């Protein structure tokens, strides 16, 4: 099916999600770590569940507001609910808890992912990145071996839009100098990105199943839904290169 689809249009670009598509933070996650709950513990909050709900509620803002550091959200919550500010040690801990596993994933991408991206570039394709991400999770992006392989990288906290909004997809294809119809979108499906890519007019939408099939965050039903709403499912980026061949 995928081979037939790619013959319908001349593929000129590939736009990819970042986490759980190109890199996997989970191997660097301390056993049992739930990041928001751990932050509540760091802050000494008695109502951890309330904080976790608030933290999740604030995710869209954290993903699109590049003017505020993630640790500031924790500081503001603590002030509002306890009347005190975070200490410097607490701010440092929040920063570490929230970002460390993402730092490691960016700094140590798998060799096969780097190789596949290079092969896509050799074929003359332009590569774009579109990630729903906050400023802390992106700290190590520019130091990542991945960064030099992309022609355009759009981080939601920088562009002010997040998937699945059409503005987010428009931003990355515009920076690539291509259009969605001549490009492939590949992602793990979080934030309803695959439906968004379809509605944005990408010529082909691909579900990266590999990393999400290794954790228990996505249910079998969720994975099956993502397989059904895309043109192809791949387990590794090398399979995307094979589809083009």
**148: domain CATH number?**
3.40.50.1000
pLDDT at res. 4: 47
Q: Which residue, 105, 131, 149, sits at the end of a domain? A: 105
Whether residues 99 and 220 share a domain: the answer is: no
User: Structural domain of residue 43, as residue ranges?
Assistant: 28-105
The whole-number pLDDT of residue 244 equals: 86
User: Same domain, yes or no, for 209 and 236?
Assistant: yes
Mark whether 171 and 229 lie in a shared domain. Answer: yes
CB atoms within 10 A of CB 7: 9
* pLDDT for position 9: 78
For residues 72 and 188, membership in a common domain is answered with no
The per-residue pLDDT for 245 is: 76
Q: Kindly state whether residues 134 and 159 are assigned to the same domain.
A: yes
Please tell me whether residues 135 and 231 are part of one structural domain.
yes
Q: Which of 55, 86, 105 is the last residue of a domain?
A: 105
d(CA 109, CA 19): 11
Question: Considering 61, 82, 105, which residue would you say is the last residue of a domain?
Answer: 105
Cα–Cα nearest to 13, from 209, 191, 210, 154: 154
Counting as low any pLDDT under 50, the low residues of the chain are 1, 3-4
Count of domains forming the chain: 2
Per-residue confidence (pLDDT) for residue 7, from 0 to 100: 54
């Amino acid at each position: 099916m995928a081979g037939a689809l790619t013959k319908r249009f001349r593929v000129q670009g590939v736009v990819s999600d970042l986490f759980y598509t190109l890199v996997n933070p989970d191997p660097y996650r301390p056993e049992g770590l739930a990041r928001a709950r751990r932050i509540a513990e760091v802050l000494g909050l008695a109502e951890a569940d309330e904080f976790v709900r608030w933290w999740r509620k604030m995710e869209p803002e954290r993903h699109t507001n590049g003017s505020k550091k993630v640790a500031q959200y924790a500081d503001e919550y603590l002030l509002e609910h306890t009347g005190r500010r975070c200490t410097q040690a607490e701010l440092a801990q929040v920063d570490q808890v929230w970002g460390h596993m993402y730092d490691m994933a960016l700094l140590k991408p798998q060799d096969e992912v780097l190789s596949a991206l290079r092969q896509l570039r050799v074929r003359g394709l332009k590569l774009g990145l579109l990630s729903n991400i906050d400023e802390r999770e992106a700290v190590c992006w520019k130091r990542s071996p991945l960064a030099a392989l992309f022609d355009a990288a759009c981080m939601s906290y920088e562009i002010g839009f997040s998937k699945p909004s059409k503005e987010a997809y428009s931003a990355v294809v515009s920076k690539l100098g291509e259009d969605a119809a001549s490009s492939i979108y590949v992602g793990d499906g979080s934030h309803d990105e695959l439906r968004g890519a379809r509605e944005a007019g990408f010529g082909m939408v691909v579900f990266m199943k590999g990393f999400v099939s290794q954790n228990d965050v996505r249910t079998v039903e969720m994975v099956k839904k993502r397989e059904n709403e895309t043109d192809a499912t791949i387990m590794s980026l090398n399979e995307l290169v094979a589809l083009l061949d």
